[in-house]
Amino acid sequence: MVARKQQVFTTEQVTRLLGLTVKKDEWRVITFAQGKEYGIKPSISGAAGSGSRRLYDEEDVCQLAIALRLLETGLRSKEIGKILGQLRKRGKLSTNLKIGEREARQLYIAIVREPETGKRLGEKRYQWVSFAEPWELEDILRDLIAKRAKRANCDVIMVPVGLMFLELRQRLEQEEKKTRGE
């Protein structure tokens, strides 16, 4: 079995991989990479001055795709950064590029938050984040409530991301063929 060569992507390529229009939406990718609150840094090379290029790897592309999806859901940049940080602790996001279509239809990011009336939105509050399938939600909530010994008063956000990973994998494969000249 031949090991896949690590792909390196420019900001322009990442913009296309995310399904965005290069001239119109490239600024979004740059904002994610420059914004400290997102916690996404180009793994290969950051911008080091005029004329330099940000270079991303596959894991970066997955983080950027999730950040864009969460932004589309209406979450704020600081929350997106926290969620990405929690997901990174659970392992490489790019492993989700290997899932099949059936699994993809059931893959969500589950965000469980404990509301705290009177606290400002930016203040720390309990939040649990993981990849999950919809049928797992009831068990997840039961376990979290038991561990936290709090009443069942949690907010839950389920963001479908499986099909996003499937589309991203297809775009990555197309980009790889293009770079090989096929």
**The predicted structure's pLDDT at residue 4:** 54
Kindly tell me if the per-residue pLDDT of 60 is higher than 90.
yes
Q: Are 40 and 60 in contact (CB under 8 A)?
A: yes
**The predicted structure's pLDDT at residue 2:** 44
Mean pLDDT, rounded, for 40-62: 85
What's the chain's average pLDDT?
85
Kindly tell me if the per-residue pLDDT of 99 is higher than 70.
yes
Kindly tell me if the per-residue pLDDT of 162 is higher than 90.
yes
Kindly tell me if the per-residue pLDDT of 81 is higher than 50.
yes
Which residues make Cβ contacts (< 8 Å) with residue 69, sequence separation at least 6? 159, 161, 164
Residue 1 belongs to some domain of the structure? no
Residue 88 belongs to some domain of the structure? yes
- Nearest Cα neighbor of 68 from 139, 180, 137, 165 is 165
Q: Are 49 and 152 in contact (CB under 8 A)?
A: no
Residue 3 belongs to some domain of the structure? no
Q: How many domains does the chain have?
A: 1
Rounded to an integer, what is the distance from CA 124 to the centroid of its chain?
21
Identify which of 44-58, 76-90, 131-145 has the greatest average pLDDT.
Answer: 76-90
**The predicted structure's pLDDT at residue 1:** 40
Q: How far is CA 137 from CA 21, 64, 122, 149, 171, in A?
A: 35, 25, 26, 18, 30
Residues spanned by the domain of 116: 9-180
Kindly tell me if the per-residue pLDDT of 96 is higher than 90.
yes
Residue 81 belongs to some domain of the structure? yes
Q: How far is CA 50 from CA 42, 47, 53, in A?
A: 16, 8, 9
List the alpha helices (DSSP H) in 42-117. Answer: 58-73, 77-89, 101-104
Q: Name the pTM for this structure.
A: 0.85
Mean pLDDT, rounded, for 5-34: 90
Q: Tell me whether strands 108-113 and 55-56 are parallel, antiparallel or unpaired.
A: unpaired
Residue 92 belongs to some domain of the structure? yes
Residue 71 belongs to some domain of the structure? yes
Residue 41 belongs to some domain of the structure? yes
**The predicted structure's pLDDT at residue 141:** 76
Residue 94 belongs to some domain of the structure? yes
**The predicted structure's pLDDT at residue 134:** 83
pLDDT band at 123 (very low <50, low <70, confident <90, very high): low
Which residues make Cβ contacts (< 8 Å) with residue 115, sequence separation at least 6? 125, 153, 154, 155
Which residues make Cβ contacts (< 8 Å) with residue 127, sequence separation at least 6? 82, 83, 86, 111, 112, 113, 114
Q: Are 55 and 45 in contact (CB under 8 A)?
A: yes
**The predicted structure's pLDDT at residue 156:** 83
Kindly tell me if the per-residue pLDDT of 19 is higher than 90.
yes
Q: Of 86-90, 114-118, 128-132, give the lowest mean pLDDT range.
A: 114-118
Q: Which residue has the higher pLDDT, 142 or 43?
A: 43
Measured between alpha carbons, how far is 19 from 48 in angstroms, rounded to an integer?
26
